[in-house]
């Protein structure tokens, strides 16, 4: 059992990613309810990092390691990958991106 508690901080880049995804689903796909549900799902996944950030392994993906550091970790919500680092007792969410865009 993981007894470490993490403060979760979401970078402005990750906030922009979430807002852009919401806007795309709500206004391009024309499904605002789905956009709201998807955003809520991403936020719940991010919120779970407060107690579970340490259980996800450090990524072996070289693209993510070069861009976000050799200690970058990921958690997936549906087709989106949430990239974060653990710094002390902080889970710092760097980006939220489509998994299909990660080489």
Per-residue pLDDT of the chain (103 residues), as tens digits, is: 457 899 999 999 999 999 999 999 999 999 999 999 999 999 999 999 999 999 999 999 999 999 999 999 999 999 999 999 999 999 999 999 999 999 9
Question: Does any domain span residue 96?
Answer: yes
| Unique residue bearing structure tokens 């950030």 | 53
User: In whole angstroms, what is the distance from residue 103 CA to residue 84 CA?
Assistant: 17
- CATH assignment at residue 36: 3.30.2310.20
Predicted local distance difference test score (pLDDT) of residue 93: 98
Query: In the chain, how many domains are there?
Result: 1
pTM: 0.94
Predicted local distance difference test score (pLDDT) of residue 1: 47
Q: Which two tokens stand for residue 81?
A: 């990958």
Contact 9, 85 (CB under 8 A): no
User: In whole angstroms, what is the distance from residue 90 CA to residue 52 CA?
Assistant: 12
Question: Does any domain span residue 1?
Answer: no
Give me the domain span that covers residue 26: 7-101
In Å, how far from its chain's centre is CA 47? 10
Task: Give phi and psi for 74, each to the nearest 5.
Answer: -135, 150
């Amino acid at each position: 059992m993981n007894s470490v508690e993490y403060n979760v901080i979401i970078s402005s880049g990750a906030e922009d990613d979430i807002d852009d995804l919401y806007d795309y689903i709500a206004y391009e796909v024309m499904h605002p309810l789905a956009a709201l549900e998807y955003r809520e799902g991403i936020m719940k996944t991010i919120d779970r990092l407060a107690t579970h950030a340490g259980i996800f392994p450090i990524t072996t993906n070289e693209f993510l390691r070069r861009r976000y550091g050799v200690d970058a970790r990921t958690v997936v919500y549906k087709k989106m990958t949430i990239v974060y680092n653990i710094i002390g007792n902080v889970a710092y969410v760097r980006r939220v991106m489509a998994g299909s865009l990660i080489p």
